[in-house]
Structure 1
């Protein structure tokens, strides 16, 4: 049975998710990702999202480097990084990031370097916002698990029995 604190934390998580969906930051793909989490993989979503953030930071750095280098400016190279970022953002439901990537790709295909730099600034802002909000979400979820006293089976103990 969940205690009052656990219910409050679940409500906080639901409010935060509702805000992110209302703002268009996340889409239904995030909910589908959550449905893949169970007792055998209780940290599945946070692990997938952490991988996403690690890879995305590399892609954002590469994009910034490419766009700042006036001699090496080539939209095809930018497009490769953007396609990776669009795909991974779509897979976790990062809707606004995906949308900004599409706008950045359009500016890139038009050889609009200034438009690309502006879109990259927006992309980096959206990335930071998503990262902060999902960090907050996972922190609340961790508190909820602790408050509920949920204990996941220890695979090492099961093997010994």
Structure 2
């Protein structure tokens, strides 16, 4: 049996386990695809990432999340502050979220937007409030899962670069 040195540092900081982190990333992506959260557009986005832009997907999704936060806040204001909601503005905001969600492969958010747009076309305020609730739920789920994905990716990147000699 070999000598095992105990350390407070995670193994990935020592340069070990990059392949395990890559497997974790793959499993998380597989789960998100299986759940229908993401579609193939996300893979196309990842193909655009290379050595010259190693954080491309992170940067694109960060912009997406910032813009979507504002749009969701505007939708909430449009539906809660006015007795008579402006369905034209609601539809514009929903279309913006739907388009940007499609461009990053956020499939379930896009689908939630389709349903939201249908109830807004009917000027159904209660339906819009329910659709907004679902949209926010899907948005938060995606945001949390992609945050987890990017944390693992960052750890894997650090582990792949760090190579320390094993103690004798």
Larger radius of gyration: 2
- For structure 1, list consecutive stretches of 5 or more residues without a partner in the other structure: 151-161
Q: Does 1:69 align with 2:81?
A: yes
Q: Distance in 2 between matches of 1:50 and 1:76?
A: 27
| The structure with more helix, counted as a fraction of residues | 1
Match of 2:28 among 11, 16, 24: 16
Q: Does 1:43 align with 2:58?
A: no
- For structure 2, list consecutive stretches of 5 or more residues without a partner in the other structure: 1-14, 163-168
| TM-score under structure 2 length normalisation | 0.85
Q: Please say if residues 45 and 104 of structure 2, whose CA atoms lie closer than 8 Å, have aligned partners that are also in contact.
A: yes
Match of 1:124 in 2: 136
Q: Please say if residues 16 and 159 of structure 2, whose CA atoms lie closer than 8 Å, have aligned partners that are also in contact.
A: no
Match of 2:39 in 1: 27
Query: Aligned runs of 1:1-161 on 2, under 5 Å?
Result: 5-149=17-161
The CA deviation at 1:72 is: 4.3
Query: Which structure is richer in relative contact order (CA contacts within 8 A, separation 6 or more)?
Result: 2
Q: Distance in 1 between matches of 2:91 and 2:144?
A: 26
Runs in 1 of length 4+ with deviation above 3 angstroms?
none
| TM-score under structure 1 length normalisation | 0.89
CA RMSD, Structure 1 to Structure 2 (Å): 1.2
Deviations 1:44-99 (A, max 9, x none): 00000000000000000000000113334121110110111111000000000010
Q: Please say if residues 38 and 105 of structure 2, whose CA atoms lie closer than 8 Å, have aligned partners that are also in contact.
A: yes
Q: Distance in 2 between matches of 1:22 and 1:94?
A: 13
